[in-house]
Structure 1
């Protein structure tokens, strides 16, 4: 990952937290934009206090990082969480995987950390990082699509993030043709998790990962080839829908499935080319900031917050 972020406010150090379903990542960036410290812990799940338990961990990580660098005066924090997020009101509206509903993250996190805090969606933050620092810098109308266990996207139009109160970008739940007939959602066919599940169903073999399915496909395994090709077909369908509706000029593909590189991107480009008619052909590129793009985005959010407010004396 890149360990440097652009200066968004002079002489300001920030904390960044990226909450995922598996891990919580945290980092401290100094006033020059250099990452001083990094920590990662497994996300703790709690059926009755899901959001509070996550903030317990965030608070502890903040204490550890600031204790490691006592001379660094932290002036703001950025926090990204999954699910439906209303960044303006500072609310985690819904998280299917972690279990909260309508939780006031900004208010509660600011009380715990004693810092002004910018809240954002994890994929939107990754998209912001790619727009400012990565593959999407050259494009005004772009979609940053993160393909992992599920699929979500950050949508940019004329360089501005399209959020719709937290409901934009849920491309993983968009309808696509079901290989078995009818329709299903994109996540059920095109995600890394779906590739693994669908191969296990067809073959009776548990591979443990989408990369292993791709390896088997390259060796001639017909079930693996079928699952991989159907994933590409579903992704291409959704990409062409975005091009038709939004005029998207670039798709930046991140997440675990993007690690397949050209084995994913080349057939995806070819199929999109076949599906489109008179439309502008979008660039389909691999994300450059890797698995920590959301963390970098959280730091960018914190700096953007400080840029809009006077710094304390």
Structure 2
């Protein structure tokens, strides 16, 4: 009853706030309104009547809504290519699914991501907008008319955007966590380093052997030693899981386990996992990743002091032979 209450910092929400600010300017309904404001409405209306079915125009008009809130037209996409992202979000598709080669949409991706229209893509904008007619018509006809509003369409885009932002935020958190662990190792070894660059550290230990510490993709950080015969020894593999969501830690540890199993097959002597979920004990973590030799808490390493950091400090020195 009297145990410590731990609430993780809302790191993801802080990143969401910044990404949402950017998204409003690029892909959300604010961006659409901004683009329309600078256009000749008569020309826009002419294209809407050319592409949008009368039934859909009537349903939207009855609710006081302009059709471009739902249907893209070439004139609008040429004015602001990034708005393809708005219509993708409104249609409920992630970037990954929408731009799959088999969907025929991958050539258009640079419109959303870079705001660019290649000449070959520009020639196909009519086809792109025609392809939206049926799914967007379905959206308009199947949602009860009493619910139709620009606010609803905005909220639908946000529902699609959320997982996209979360995936990006978690990726950035992971990279930041890896960088923090690397900086901890760098701080331990920098007095011995012969060469240091972003994501890579080299040193020669007292036995005259070259040791490298560097970022990798899987695992996140590796330590290797060049032996007397010139062969490389895989000394240490470190997996870093920087997310603070305890409900997802079992999946993250499962990912670490797969990585460490591969590392073992590659000859790594030691496998460590750094996590960022306060209160998770080693016994529970070891159930999910039995291949991990040692678990460390990211926050404890970042302190640069304390029992976990001291253990990490001495073991790193031992691993590289100093």
State the TM-score, normalized to the length of structure 2.
0.27
More helix by share: 2
More strand by share: 1
Higher relative contact order (CA 8 A, sep 6+): 1
| Larger Rg over CA atoms | 2
